[in-house]
Structure 1
Amino acid sequence: MFALVFLAVGLAMDAVAVALVRGATGEHRPARALEVAAFFGVAQGVMPLIGWAIGVTLAGVIAAFDHWIAFALLGFLGLRMLHEAFTGDDEAAVPPHTRRTYYAGLAVAAIATSIDAAAAGITLPLLGQPLGLSCLIIGATTAALCLPAYWLGTRASPDTGKAAEVLGGLVLIGLGIKILVEHLGA
């Protein structure tokens, strides 16, 4: 069980970083913190199950391009964060009818940061824990860590919000490049 919790915390770290940045640059309402935690928790909990299922059926085929998917999603999200930081887009100033882009961006972030959880799903049976319990622990751990991360982000000064957004964008792009380089070099 210790190995599973350790894995869950490790898988949650990129989601925690994005939640912190979203807190620094987003609305300072408890509902936003809960939404971020829920999106990231659900994605991190479901992706290992998806990874396990894909791994069982397409092990040889998916390994050939999974790193490109992670690179594209993380790169897109990172570039979007950089664009928002440099163009001065303020989510709080967006009219309500365009707020759906907030949720679309949150969904992309949740999926992009959980690609590694999908890859980990292939190895979950090796931990000796039931697959469903493993997915539940991974998702709950991510949500539990993202909630205070968002809150901590809201405590940052407004000036640090844009800097955090730039840093977060660069970190996501860096993660995508790291995944790509590791897989292409292997």
Structure 2
Amino acid sequence: MRIWEIILIGLGLSMDAVAVSMTNGMIYKGLTKDKVIGMPVFFGGFQGFMPLLGFLLGGLISGIITQYANILVFLILGFIGSKMLIDVYKDYKNPEAEEKVVEGNLTYKTLLLQAIATSIDAFTVGIGFSAIGVNVVYASSIIALTTGVCSLVAIFVGKKFGNMFESKSTLIGGIILVLIAIKSLIG
């Protein structure tokens, strides 16, 4: 498999991570440097790790993982997005409450769940790599790097949109995550 083919696979796999990174950049106004660095590391790391895992486990648990992957993504991203929408609704119902800006509340636990949810499809790619005899360490490294770079760019794009939409950014971010969750169920 040629490098450009692996980069294209990496770009395709990174799209959910890019959307989540952009959403995080949009809604978390007080992102610290460690979280800005952490997102590409987590997203890229998991996108690179999952093909390795898929390659190694191949047929052992692939049926179970691939059978329930969409449901798992739906539950994780649906929960996070729904929580954001509920928070927006609570703020709307309480007009006396001050305009709330999310100040760096992105936890490593949330980041870990986001990274897992956005990388499950890469497990299946690893199974495919084992079937066609791809150098999985090389391919996984390229996928991880591609996802990391795309996620980093997406954070800054998200920050730009967050500044443009100000108070609506949490609503938009919640809707984006819920839509990705729903898309995972549809296929």
TM bucket, shorter chain: 0.7 to 0.9
Q: Structure 1 length normalisation: TM-score?
A: 0.79
RMSD: 2.6
Question: Kindly tell me: are residues 90 and 164 of structure 1, through their superposed partners in 2, closer, same or farther at Cα, counting changes over 3 Å?
Answer: closer
User: Counterpart of 1:69 in structure 2: which amino acid?
Assistant: L
Q: Deviations over 1:48-67 (max 9, x none)?
A: 22233343313444443333
Residues 50, 78 of structure 1: CA spacing in aligned structure 2 closer, same or farther, 3 A cutoff?
farther
SS of the equivalent of 1:129 reads coil
| TM-score normalized by the length of structure 2 | 0.79
5 Å-filtered alignment, 1:55-70, equals: 55-70=58-73
Aligned length: 176
The alpha-carbon deviation at position 29 of structure 1 amounts to: 4.3
Asked whether 1:10 is paired with 2:15, we answer no
- CA-to-aligned-CA distance 1:55-109 (integer Å, 9 cap, x gap): 33134444433332222222223223323444566442x7xxxx6x611111111
Q: Is the 8 A contact 2:70 2:185 kept in 1?
A: yes
AA at the equivalent of 2:153: P
| Distance 1:171-1:60 versus aligned 2 partners, 3 A rule | same
> Where do 5+ consecutive residues of structure 1 fail to align?
none
Distance 1:164 1:10, change over 3 A: farther
> 1:161 & 1:53 partners in 2: Cα distance?
45
2:135 alignment partner in structure 1: 130
Task: Give the drift of 1:164.
Answer: 3.9
Q: Tell me which moved more, 122-131 or 5-14.
A: 122-131
Query: Percent of aligned positions with the same letter in both sequences?
Result: 31
Q: Distance in 1 between matches of 2:65 and 2:162?
A: 43
Kindly report which structure 2 residues correspond to 1:83-162, keeping only aligned pairs within 5 A, or say none.
Answer: 83-87=86-90, 90-92=101-103, 102-125=107-130, 128-158=133-163, 160-162=165-167
On the 8 A contact 1:25/1:162 being kept in 2, the answer is: no
Structure having the higher Rg? 2
